[in-house]
C-alpha cells in the first residue's frame, strides 16, 4: 500500500513581528473608535429626538388646553338695560349698550386696583398673558349640589348681587402667564427655567379666595349695575350708580383688574385686596407680589367641608403646562365691516382707535370679545435649556433678526428652537 506523503516541515518558521502586531492593534483601535463614535452620534441624535419629541408633545397638549379654555370664555351677553348716557358716541353705543360684561384681559397694561400695571403681578413682564371668565362643564366644578343644600344659610341679598348662584357655580377663572421657576423646591436641585403656567380657580358660590365667585362678583359689581342685571327694582334715588359701563366708561384705565379685589360677604361689597396668583416652585426674589405663605397648608377634609373655614381663602400655586418657554405671544383681533361685503381684522391698537378709546397701543379693550386670537409659543430643548443660567438668558428681542447682534445665549436658543402657531376662534356673544 502506497503511503500518503506528509507536508514538508518548515524549519526556522517565525511568528508575527512586533511591528505587524502594533499595526494590527492600531487598525483595530481605529475601527473600534469609528464604531463607538458612530454609536455615540446615533445615541446623541436619539436622545435629542426623544428630548424634542417629549417637549413637542407636551407643548401641543398645552395649546389644546388653551384652545379649549378660550372656547369656553364668557365675555358679554345681551340684557334689557336703560340707554347709555347721551354723551356716548354711536360707535361705542353699538358695542357697549344693552350688554352685561365680564372682562377678558389680554396683555393688559392699564386698569385700577393693582400696584403694577399687568394682570399677573408674579408673571414675567416680557411675556404676554391673559385671564378671563370661563363657563366650563359643571362636572369640572366644585360640588354645586352641596352648595345648593346650604343656600338657605346665606342671605338672599347676596345671591341677588352681581352674579347669580348658578352663574357663580359655572364662572371659573382661567389665566395664562410665563414665570421663571425652579425644577424642585429641594435646595440641591434648584435649576430654573421659563415655564408657561395655567391659573385656574374653580367656580362655586363660596365667596372665598380659593374660588372664582368673589373675584367675579367684585368685577361685575363695579362694571355692571346689579339692579339692571337682575331686575331688582328701580335703583333708589339716594343710591349712586358707580357701575363703569352705566357711566359710559369703557377704557381699560377705568376698569378694575380681575385679580385686584374679591367680595367675601354681604357686609363688605367694597371688596378686599386679593392674593395674587403665583407659580409653583417660584424664585422668591422674583415675586413682586408674593402670597402670605408660599406653600399654604392643604387642610383636612373637615376644613373644606366648612364654608366658613379660612382654608377657603387659600390660593395654591399654579402648575406649569409648558417648559423651556422663550416666546409666548397673544395677538387678539376683532372683525369689523368697513363696507358692503368688506371686512377688516383690527388688532388692539386699531380697535382702540376704532372705538375712540384712549389706551396703550397693545392693550386690548377688556370689554370687547375678540373674534380670534393668534398664539405663538416657542420652546427649546432640555439640553439647551441647561445652558441658560438665569432669567435674563431667556429674554429675546424677536424684532432683532440680525445674527450679528445676537448674544451667545440667543444663538443657543435659535439653534434649538421649536415654534408653534395656533389661531383660536372665540364663541359668539351669549344671548
Domain spans, the chain: 45-304+313-425
Q: Which 3 state secondary structure label does DSSP give 319?
A: coil
Question: If 0-12 CB within 10 Å is exposed, 13-18 middle and 19+ buried, where does residue 334 land?
Answer: buried
Query: In degrees rounded to 5, what are phi and psi of residue 214?
Result: -65, -35
Q: What percent of the chain has pLDDT over 70?
A: 79
Q: What percent of the chain has pLDDT over 90?
A: 49
Here the cell at position 137 is 362643564
pLDDT given for residue 191 in this prediction: 87
Query: What pLDDT, in 10s, does the model give residues 279-327?
Result: 999 998 889 998 888 888 888 988 888 888 889 898 999 999 999 999 9
Q: Compute the average pLDDT of residues 234-241.
A: 70
Rounded (5°) CA angle 232-234-239: 100
Query: What pLDDT, in 10s, does the model give residues 163-192?
Result: 444 444 568 999 999 999 999 888 766 789
Q: Compute the average pLDDT of residues 200-207.
A: 82
pLDDT given for residue 150 in this prediction: 41
Q: Compute the average pLDDT of residues 237-248.
A: 82
Query: What pLDDT, in 10s, does the model give residues 258-268?
Result: 999 998 876 66
pLDDT given for residue 8 in this prediction: 57
Q: Which 3 state secondary structure label does DSSP give 281?
A: coil
pTM: 0.81
Instruction: Evaluate whether 163 touches 213 at the Cβ level (below 8 Å).
Output: yes
Question: Is 202 a residue whose pLDDT tops 60?
Answer: yes
Q: Which 3 state secondary structure label does DSSP give 431?
A: coil
Instruction: Evaluate whether 221 touches 162 at the Cβ level (below 8 Å).
Output: yes
Check the CA dihedral 213-218-219-221 and report its sign. Answer: positive
Here the cell at position 254 is 377705568
CA distance linking residue 415 with residue 4, whole number of Å: 76
Give 333 or 228, the one with higher predicted confidence: 333
Question: Is 154 a residue whose pLDDT tops 50?
Answer: no
Q: Compute the average pLDDT of residues 21-31.
A: 81
Q: With the CA atoms of 137, 121, 126 and 326 taken in that order, what torsion angle do they form, in degrees rounded to the nearest 10?
A: -50
Q: What pLDDT band is residue 88 in, cutting at 50, 70 and 90?
A: very high
- Mean pLDDT of the residues in the chain: 83
Phi-psi region of 303 (alpha: psi -120 to 50; beta: other; left: phi over 0): alpha
Q: Which of 263, 295, 258, 262 is nearest to 278 (CA)?
A: 295
The DSSP bridge partners found for residue 194 are 180
Q: With the CA atoms of 121, 122, 124 and 128 taken in that order, what torsion angle do they form, in degrees rounded to the nearest 10?
A: -60
Instruction: Evaluate whether 163 touches 171 at the Cβ level (below 8 Å).
Output: yes
Amino acid at each position: 500500500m502506497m503511503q500518503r506523503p506528509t507536508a514538508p516541515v518548515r524549519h526556522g518558521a517565525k511568528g508575527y513581528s512586533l511591528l505587524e502586531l502594533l499595526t494590527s492593534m492600531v487598525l483595530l483601535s481605529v475601527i473600534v473608535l469609528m464604531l463607538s463614535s458612530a454609536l455615540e452620534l446615533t445615541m446623541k441624535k436619539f436622545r435629542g429626538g426623544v428630548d424634542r419629541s417629549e417637549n413637542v408633545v407636551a407643548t401641543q397638549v398645552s395649546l389644546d388646553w388653551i384652545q379649549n379654555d378660550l372656547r369656553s370664555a364668557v365675555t358679554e351677553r345681551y340684557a334689557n338695560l336703560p340707554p347709555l348716557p347721551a354723551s356716548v358716541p354711536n360707535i361705542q353705543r353699538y358695542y357697549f349698550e344693552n350688554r352685561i360684561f365680564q372682562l377678558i384681559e389680554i396683555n393688559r397694561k392699564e386698569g385700577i386696583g393693582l400696584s403694577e400695571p399687568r394682570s399677573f403681578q408674579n408673571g414675567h413682564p416680557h411675556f404676554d398673558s391673559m385671564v378671563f371668565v370661563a363657563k366650563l362643564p359643571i362636572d369640572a366644578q366644585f360640588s354645586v349640589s352641596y352648595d345648593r343644600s346650604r343656600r338657605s344659610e346665606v342671605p338672599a341679598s347676596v345671591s341677588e348681587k352681581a352674579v347669580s348662584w348658578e352663574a357663580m357655580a359655572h364662572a371659573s377663572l382661567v389665566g395664562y402667564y410665563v414665570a421663571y421657576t425652579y425644577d424642585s423646591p429641594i435646595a440641591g436641585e434648584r435649576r430654573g427655567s421659563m415655564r408657561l403656567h395655567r391659573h385656574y380657580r374653580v367656580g362655586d358660590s363660596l365667596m372665598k379666595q380659593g374660588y372664582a365667585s368673589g373675584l367675579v362678583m367684585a368685577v361685575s359689581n363695579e362694571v355692571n349695575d346689579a339692579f339692571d342685571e337682575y331686575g331688582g327694582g328701580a335703583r333708589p334715588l339716594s343710591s349712586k350708580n358707580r357701575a363703569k359701563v352705566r357711566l359710559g366708561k369703557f377704557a381699560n384705565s377705568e376698569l378694575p383688574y380681575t385679580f385686584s379685589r374679591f367680595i367675601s360677604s354681604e357686609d363688605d361689597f367694597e371688596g378686599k385686596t386679593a392674593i395674587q396668583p403665583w407659580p409653583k416652585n417660584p424664585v422668591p426674589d422674583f415675586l413682586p407680589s408674593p402670597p402670605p405663605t408660599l406653600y399654604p397648608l392643604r387642610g383636612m377634609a373637615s376644613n373644606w367641608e366648612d364654608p366658613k373655614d379660612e382654608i377657603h381663602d387659600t390660593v395654591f400655586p399654579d402648575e406649569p403646562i409648558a417648559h423651556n418657554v422663550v416666546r409666548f405671544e397673544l395677538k387678539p383681533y376683532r372683525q369689523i365691516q368697513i363696507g358692503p361685503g368688506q371686512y377688516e381684522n383690527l388688532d388692539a391698537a386699531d380697535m382702540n382707535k376704532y372705538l375712540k378709546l384712549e389706551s396703550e397701543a397693545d392693550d386690548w379693550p377688556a370689554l370687547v370679545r375678540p373674534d380670534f386670537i393668534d398664539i405663538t409659543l416657542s420652546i427649546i430643548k432640555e439640553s439647551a435649556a441647561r445652558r441658560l443660567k438665569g432669567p435674563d438668558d431667556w429674554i429675546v428681542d424677536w424684532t432683532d433678526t440680525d445674527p450679528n447682534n445676537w448674544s451667545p445665549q440667543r444663538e443657543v436658543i435659535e439653534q434649538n428652537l421649536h415654534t408653534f402657531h395656533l389661531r383660536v376662534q372665540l364663541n359668539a356673544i351669549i344671548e
